[in-house]
């Protein structure tokens, strides 16, 4: 790989652009990719999913997971591809029954939290072999200059689904469990930390250039539980990867962290941090970007509404964060009603910014 040996990041000019920025280099215009860029807004994705027959079949069939991962690269030429999978394949591999109800999202069979009748991390990682096969296949099919991102869910976010058996408005079941039986929740978090380390390491070994840890629900915690269940587990994952000699960039995405972003970056030692669309750009510029490269944070709704509002939102991000290391992205995943013409418009505006002005 031209970005160095597996597990070793580089900021050399020959490296892939996203890796360079995640390693601390400022590029103008910034590289761009999009969370959920392989998804239902694309007709080719819908056709491949129909061929698979179901969402989990799509995740676990390397040929099809490769195809949908490559589709947005072919159409848009993003600077990074992200493995097509789901954060809940980890609890499934640990032994929790998982299914997707059409139109309702994921469902997990609940279990006795105190007993934790789940398998060990090594067994779980062995069950995820099709995911690693897909990573290798995707890397082989990508342009040499395109970064390949692996990912996992943060332990707290994965635990919220495991405890509730589904997504809820505020993931209250897990928050209640954390307050009434924190020791039991901690045991689950510990299991997920160990499993996540092995899962991400295997993705890197298969060809991922960097990894992202998605913490969709960490921002719902109060300060004490945010430190214990959101910050500390991610810190341990980063430490565990480094202890295995895995040196690729790690992006943390703590949705809803707000003013806690600087502490999150400092405590977890993530290489870069993803920003949700509600993060204050001025605050990020002054208090977060000096600590680590940032990624984000266009409101996904802008890709539905489009027009001058989309242009202005893009320009605000570039104008505020473009002087430092920035990977342009959304503040969450693109929605199924996102418009392809607006995605094209976004890419052209970001890449065209380099012809208009340069902060250097």
DSSP annotation string for 294-316: EEEEE-TTHHHH-HHHHHHHHHH
- For the segment 35-44, the average pLDDT, to the nearest whole number, is 97
Q: What secondary structure letter does DSSP report for 15?
A: S
Query: Has 45 been annotated as catalytic?
Result: no
Q: Is the pLDDT of residue 236 over 70?
A: yes
Handedness of CA 155, 259, 331, 163 (dihedral sign): positive
Q: Which of 6-15, 73-82, 303-312 has the lowest mean pLDDT?
A: 6-15
pTM, two decimal places: 0.93
40 is in an annotated binding site: yes
Nearest by Cα to 74 from 66, 47, 27, 246 = 66
Query: Has 40 been annotated as catalytic?
Result: yes
Q: Chain-centre distance of CA 358, in angstroms?
A: 29
37 is in an annotated binding site: yes
Percent of the chain residues topping a pLDDT of 90: 87
What pairs with residue 251 in β-bridges? 212, 272
Q: Chain-centre distance of CA 157, in angstroms?
A: 12
Selected residue with higher pLDDT from 356 and 342: 342
Query: Has 36 been annotated as catalytic?
Result: yes
pLDDT tens, 173-191?
999 999 999 999 999 999 9
**Whole-number pLDDT of residue 12:** 54
The three-class DSSP label of residue 97 is coil
- Mean pLDDT across the chain, nearest whole number? 93
36 is in an annotated binding site: yes
41 is in an annotated binding site: no
**Whole-number pLDDT of residue 4:** 36
Cα separation of 310 and 347, whole Å? 11
Q: Is the pLDDT of residue 360 over 70?
A: no
Q: Single out the catalytic residue among 40, 166, 228, 339.
A: 40
Task: List the structure tokens of 209.
Answer: 């250039």
Q: Single out the catalytic residue among 26, 86, 107, 267.
A: 86
pLDDT tens, 241-253?
999 999 999 999 9
Q: Is the pLDDT of residue 260 over 60?
A: yes
Task: List the structure tokens of 91.
Answer: 């609890």
Q: What secondary structure letter does DSSP report for 32?
A: B
Handedness of CA 218, 219, 222, 228 (dihedral sign): positive
Q: Single out the catalytic residue among 49, 235, 236, 260.
A: 49
* CB contact set of 340 (below 8 Å; sequence gap of 6+): 41, 42, 75
Q: Chain-centre distance of CA 60, in angstroms?
A: 19
**Whole-number pLDDT of residue 355:** 62
Q: Which helix (H) or strand (E) holds 215?
A: strand 210-215
pLDDT tens, 273-290?
999 999 999 999 999 999
**Whole-number pLDDT of residue 102:** 74
Question: What are the structural domains of the chain?
Answer: 17-356 (3.20.20.210)
What pairs with residue 295 in β-bridges? 274, 327
**C-alpha distances in Å from residue 142, one per residue of 136, 138, 202, 247, 322:** 10, 6, 19, 22, 27
- For the segment 192-215, the average pLDDT, to the nearest whole number, is 98
Q: Is the pLDDT of residue 98 over 50?
A: yes
332 is in an annotated binding site: yes
Burial class of residue 50, CB neighbours in 10 A (0-12, 13-18, 19+): exposed
Q: Are 274 and 154 in contact (CB under 8 A)?
A: no
Cα separation of 314 and 346, whole Å? 7
Q: Is the pLDDT of residue 357 over 60?
A: no
Task: List the structure tokens of 210.
Answer: 């960097």
């Amino acid at each position: 790989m031209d970005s160095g040996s597996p597990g070793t990041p580089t900021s050399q000019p020959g490296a892939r652009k996203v890796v360079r920025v995640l390693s601390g280099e400022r590029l103008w215009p910034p590289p761009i990719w999009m969370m959920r860029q392989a998804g239902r807004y694309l007709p080719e994705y819908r056709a491949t999913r129909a061929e698979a027959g179901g969402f989990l079949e799509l995740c676990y069939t390397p040929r099809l997971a490769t195809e949908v991962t490559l589709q947005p690269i072919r159409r848009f030429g993003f600077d990074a591809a992200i493995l097509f999978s789901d954060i809940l394949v980890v609890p499934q591999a640990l032994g929790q029954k998982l299914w997707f109800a059409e139109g309702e999202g994921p469902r997990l069979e609940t279990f006795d939290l105190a007993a934790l009748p789940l398998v060990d991390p090594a067994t779980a990682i062995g069950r995820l072999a099709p995911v690693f096969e897909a990573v290798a296949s995707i890397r082989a099919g990508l342009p040499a200059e395109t970064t390949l991102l692996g990912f996992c869910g943060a332990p707290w976010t994965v635990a919220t689904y495991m405890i509730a058996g589904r997504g809820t408005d505020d993931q209250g079941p897990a928050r209640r469990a954390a307050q009434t039986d924190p020791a039991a929740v901690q045991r689950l978090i510990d299991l997920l930390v160990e499993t996540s380390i092995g899962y991400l390491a295997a993705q890197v070994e298969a060809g991922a250039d960097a990894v992202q840890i998605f913490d969709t629900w960490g921002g719902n915690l109060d300060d004490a539980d945010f430190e214990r269940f959101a910050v500390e587990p991610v810190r341990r994952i980063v430490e565990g990867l480094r202890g295995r000699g895995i040196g690729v960039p790690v992006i943390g995405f703590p949705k809803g962290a707000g003013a806690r972003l600087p502490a999150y970056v400092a405590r977890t030692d993530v290489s870069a941090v993803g920003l949700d669309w509600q993060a204050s750009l001025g605050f990020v510029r002054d208090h977060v970007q000096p600590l680590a490269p940032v990624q984000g944070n266009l409101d996904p709704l802008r890709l539905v509404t489009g027009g001058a509002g989309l242009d202005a939102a893009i320009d605000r991000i570039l104008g505020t964060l473009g002087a430092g290391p920035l990977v342009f992205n959304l503040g969450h995943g693109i929605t199924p009603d996102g418009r392809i013409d607006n995605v094209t418009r976004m890419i052209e505006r970001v890449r065209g910014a380099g012809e208009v002005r340069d902060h250097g």
